[in-house]
Homo-oligomer: A and B are copies of this chain.
Amino acid sequence: MTIKDIAESCGVSISTVSRVLNDHPDVSPKVRQKVLETARAAHYVPNNSARDLVRARSEGIGLIVRGVGNPFFTEVIHAIERAIDAAGYSMALHQIGSDDDEIMAGATLARSKKLKGLIFLGGKGDYQSSDIAILDVPFVCCTYTVRFTPLPRESYSSVAIDDKMEGYRAVRMLLEKGHRKIGVLLNSQHDHSIGELRYMGYCEALSDAGLTVEESLVEETGSFALSDAYEATGRLVKRRPDLTAIFTISDTMGMAAIKALHDLGRAVPEDCSVISIDGMDMTNYILPPLATMAQPQQELGVTAVGTLVDMIEGRAGNRHILLPATPRMGGSVAPC
């Protein structure tokens, strides 16, 4: 059965059937139901190429998600998905592990699916020009940017928070509450990505306050897993029982730190304050709610898509957009 057969059987025009099958809004609920029931009864499956012909712009945008299982990305992916759809494009999503090469994955995906552009959700901040030369479509780094190599700014786009600055602001809040012995929990001091940048913010905030960065207050988790952050908090507190606050570079680490402190007999925030960066919805529902610099998750996704679509459609070239995070005070920070 073709679209034409369905149209005849329902007594509506072919374009009405097409609007229903492509989920356009301007069809009455009654007609929509009738068309869907007829299509269903006839075991009609929309053929993608046929559907693509109907849509004005059906080209695909690839989304490479780095770090499988990063719950912070869930909201951003959702926003990207809706924005791509609203812009009239289709989305090809590909997840890669934390150690995989997102540029190679993106180049492969773009070529095999003939994509018009790419969004990298999570990635490294040390690309060389030779790395990105394999990409022959416009792309946007979403939630990160390139800070560790002199990659020409006009050769790529990015939409992110200022990770170093937000790390600085988070630690500044602890300092303003009188904390001086502030630990830091991070995946790695040398990840050439957001971990290192947020750590640089920590160092600069301490330095501006006239404090020295003490190695014994710095603890690496080696990953973003909750269990690793839990163990790392234990090591940190054992080494520095005098600390009064911890800055964690992600919400998931903040969650694990609060639990670990509790299990060590330290109440948060009475005995130790915790502040992080991310602003996941979920960490509003823990006890105490996590103090965090909340990234604008929706806006990051929507802006990344807008930036890419402007390039694909020739309205603009590469751009770099820094969005501010919003302090969410939660309940995990108290005066020292």
Contacts and interface: CB of A to CB of B under 8 A. Distances in A.
Interface of A: 40-41, 43-49, 68-69, 71, 74-75, 77-78, 81, 93-95, 104, 107-108, 111-112, 130-131, 133-134, 226-227, 230, 252, 255-256, 258-259, 262, 281-282, 284-287, 289
Nearest to A134: B43
A317 to B, nearest CB: 22
A72 to B, nearest CB: 11
Contacts of A45: 104, 107-108, 111, 134
Contacts of A68: 74, 77-78, 81
Given A68-B81, A95-B93, A282-B226, A43 B133 contact: yes
Nearest to A259: B285
B286 A287 contact: yes
Q: How many copies does the complex hold?
A: 2
Given A45-B111, A287-B258, A287-B262, A71 B282 contact: yes
Nearest to A23: B100
Q: Chain A's interface: helix, strand, loop or mixed, by majority?
A: helix
9 contacts: A40-B104, A48-B112, A68-B78, A77-B95, A81-B95, A226-B282, A227-B281, A286-B287, A287-B287
Given A285-B256, A287-B287, A40 B130 contact: yes
A251 to B, nearest CB: 11
Given A93-B93, A111-B47, A287-B259, A78 B71 contact: no
Given A258-B285, A287-B287, 5 more contacts: A45-B104, A45-B111, A93-B94, A252-B282, A286-B287
A47 B74 CA distance: 30
Nearest to A256: B285
Contact of A74 (B49, B69, B81, B111): B69
Please name the 4 residue pairs, one residue from A and one from B, whose CB atoms are nearest each other, closest first.
Answer: A48-B112, A259-B285, A45-B107, A69-B74
A249 to B, nearest CB: 17
A70 to B, nearest CB: 9
Contacts of A227: 281
A252 to B, nearest CB: 8
Which of A104, A226, A256, A258 has the most chain B CB atoms closer than 10 A to its own CB? Answer: A104
Contacts of A133: 43
Nearest to A230: B285
Contacts of A134: 40, 43-45
A74 B71 contact: yes
A287 B332 CA distance: 13
A330 B52 CA distance: 50
Nearest to A43: B134
A230 B75 CA distance: 19
B43 A111 contact: no
